[in-house]
């Protein structure tokens, strides 16, 4: 048993993190990482470079992240997060999710009956 206190968290109010990330942002792994359990032991799971994860609402000091398969992870809310992750710009994140700027523009045109800014 460790001397660290374990807290039950039932509310996730933080939407903007100190490191600059916001809930709704996407981040991409810069390198492979090996997942460890709470005691620091490797689980045998490797997260691969290039994977894109979603930034979720979280708690003070802890960034909550979700992989595309739904697995949740936490990271310290400081600049060290950028050693492992890079922020994906929102237009790139849309394209990754299959919502390119072109399709967004065409939906707006259909909705407003406009084409080429007229």
Distance set, CA 112 to CA 15, 94, 99, 108 (Å): 32, 22, 19, 6
How much of the chain exceeds pLDDT 90, in percent?
A: 57
What number is the average pLDDT over the span 3-10?
62
What number is the average pLDDT over the span 51-67?
94
What number is the average pLDDT over the span 73-102?
78
Considering the domain boundaries, does residue 54 fall inside one?
yes
Considering the domain boundaries, does residue 101 fall inside one?
no
Task: Judge whether residue 98 has pLDDT over 60.
Answer: no
Which residues constitute the domain of residue 81?
26-89
Whole-number pLDDT of residue 38: 86
Please give the tally of structural domains in the chain: 1
CATH number, position 31 = 2.30.30
Considering the domain boundaries, does residue 68 fall inside one?
yes
Q: Which of 92, 81, 89, 96 is nearest to 30 (CA)?
A: 81
Considering the domain boundaries, does residue 21 fall inside one?
no
Distance set, CA 91 to CA 65, 95, 102 (Å): 19, 6, 11
Distance set, CA 51 to CA 8, 21, 88, 95 (Å): 29, 17, 11, 14
DSSP-derived secondary structure letter, 67: -
Considering the domain boundaries, does residue 112 fall inside one?
no
Considering the domain boundaries, does residue 42 fall inside one?
yes
What number is the average pLDDT over the span 27-44?
94
pTM: 0.67
Task: Output the average pLDDT for the chain.
Answer: 81
Whole-number pLDDT of residue 13: 86
Considering the domain boundaries, does residue 40 fall inside one?
yes
Considering the domain boundaries, does residue 100 fall inside one?
no
């Amino acid at each position: 048993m460790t001397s660290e206190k374990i807290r039950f968290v039932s509310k996730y109010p933080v939407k903007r993190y100190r490191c600059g990330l916001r809930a709704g942002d996407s981040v991409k792994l810069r390198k492979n990482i090996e997942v460890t359990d709470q005691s620091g032991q490797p689980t045998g799971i490797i997260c691969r470079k290039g994977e894109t994860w979603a930034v979720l609402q979280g708690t003070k000091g802890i960034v909550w992240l979700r992989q595309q398969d739904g697995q949740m992870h936490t990271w310290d809310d400081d600049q060290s997060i950028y050693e492992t992750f890079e922020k994906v710009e929102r237009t790139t994140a849309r394209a990754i999710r299959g919502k390119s700027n072109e399709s967004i523009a065409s939906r707006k045109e259909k909705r407003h009956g406009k084409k080429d800014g007229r």
